[in-house]
Amino acid sequence: MAVYTEVTDEELNSFIGNYDVGRLLSFKGIAEGVENSNFLLHTDKASYILTLYEKRVNPDDLPYFLNLLQHLARKGLSCPTPVPSRDGKLLGTLAGRPAALVTFLEGMWVKRPRVDHCSELGKAMAELHLDGMDYEGYRKNALDVTGWRPLFEQCGARTDSVHAGLGAEISRELDYLEANWPADLPKGVIHADLFPDNVFFLGDELSGLIDFYFACNDALAYDIAICLNAWCFEHDGSFNVTKARALLKGYASVRPLETDEYEALPILCRGAALRFLLTRLYDWLSVPQGALVTPKDPLEYLKKLRFHQTVGNAQAYGLER
């Protein structure tokens, strides 16, 4: 479920009155997503998504996200475009929460991405990286290598209740990553959560990217590593090198990888796996009894991490140099 905040008709009508979007015809909550409250709106002009930002989003970050979407949309990337209010603001307030109206993107996400989807994803991610190059905003990645240990410490001794020995395994991996994390890779705006449920397709064509609420400035190749993890493992846990090759080739056809980025892929994949292992672990241990949200499985990411620990060099991801 992802409607945490109820909105009355009066509140909505008065909010919509601030925008030049036509007459409201219908309005309904969207069940998907876990972070924010999302509503689908139809007016006599078009369809829109109304997002009410909930507690996990830092309101100070919202201008970075909304201005980024506007910047990317102006460059031609297919992503939700924030609709300014009549007085030119991208961010408003509704039912006591920060709220924004963005354009509706057609398409559906694919539950079982195929090789051609991975190739399209690679190209779109590279376009996003190039389009973000001249974005003036800056947001540090709160979940970069320096953020992982504090998160792990918050999980504390309960970590082993999820899997025996997990605490020691994470601790060893953190030691390795902190000592070896590459510092000088090309940086820019990354999406940082480009999972299949944030990428829409219409037929076989990629129609848009959504959910930029982890976007930040970090190593571009780290975004690729996040995607190798999220798109190129099968449901049985095996790594699909054909999908990885397609993703990397698609990416490189738009933005060729520098040698140091290519060589760093194994450690970046380990870091990306640990990042999602840790946030999922934290959420797993924090879900209140009886909550309607089903937490995502942290151990899926432990298996991915173990795979990357066996990788000798970047050729294992299928792209020859």
Ligand X SMILES: N[C@@H](CCO)C(=O)O
Which residues are near ligand X by CB under 6 A? 193, 195, 276, 279-280, 296
Shortest distance, CB of residue 296 to ligand X, whole angstroms? 5
Q: Does 34 bind ligand ATP (CB under 6 A)?
A: yes
Q: Which of 30, 110 has the CB closer to ligand ATP? A: 30
Residue 140: half-sphere exposure toward Cβ, Cα within 13 Å: 6
Shortest distance, CB of residue 206 to ligand X, whole angstroms? 18
Kindly list the distances between the CA atom of residue 64 and the CA atoms of 91, 173, 226, 235, in Å, as whole numbers in the listed order.
11, 32, 21, 35
> Which residues have a Cβ under 8 Å from the Cβ of 305 and sit 6 or more positions away?
173, 270, 273, 274, 277
Length of the chain: 321
Kindly list the distances between the CA atom of residue 156 and the CA atoms of 146, 168, 278, in Å, as whole numbers in the listed order.
17, 11, 11
Q: Does 145 bind ligand ATP (CB under 6 A)?
A: no
Q: Closest residue (Cβ) to ligand ATP?
A: 33
How far, in Å, CA of 81 to CA of 119, rounded? 24
Q: Which of 116, 297 has the CB closer to ligand X? A: 297
Q: State the residue for tokens 């953190």.
A: 174
Residue 296's binding partner, choosing from ligand ATP, ligand X, none, with beta-carbon cut-off 5 to 8 A by kind? ligand X
| Segment 102 to 131, residues that bind ligand ATP, using CB under 6 A | 102, 104-105
Shortest distance, CB of residue 38 to ligand ATP, whole angstroms? 4
Q: Which of 32, 60 has the CB closer to ligand X? A: 32
Residue 49's binding partner, choosing from ligand X, ligand ATP, none, with beta-carbon cut-off 5 to 8 A by kind? ligand ATP
Residue 93: half-sphere exposure toward Cβ, Cα within 13 Å: 3
Q: State the residue for tokens 């910047």.
A: 71
Are 244 and 101 in contact by the 8 Å Cβ rule? The answer is: no
| Closest-CA residue to 303 (of 241, 235, 244) | 235
Q: Does 1 bind ligand ATP (CB under 6 A)?
A: no
Q: State the residue for tokens 């795979």.
A: 307
DSSP, residue by residue, 63-117: HHHHHHHHHHHHTT--S--BPPPTTS-S-EEETTEEEEEEEPPP-B--SS--HHH
Q: Does 211 bind ligand ATP (CB under 6 A)?
A: yes
Residue 302's binding partner, choosing from ligand ATP, ligand X, none, with beta-carbon cut-off 5 to 8 A by kind? none
Q: Which of 4, 176 has the CB closer to ligand ATP? A: 4
Out of 38, 119, 141, 159, point to the residue binding ligand ATP (CB under 6 A): 38
Out of 210, 228, 230, 273, point to the residue binding ligand ATP (CB under 6 A): 210
Q: Does 295 bind ligand ATP (CB under 6 A)?
A: no
Task: Summarize as ranges the residues that interact with ligand ATP (CB under 6 A).
Answer: 2, 30, 32-36, 38, 49, 80, 102, 104-105, 197-198, 210-211, 213
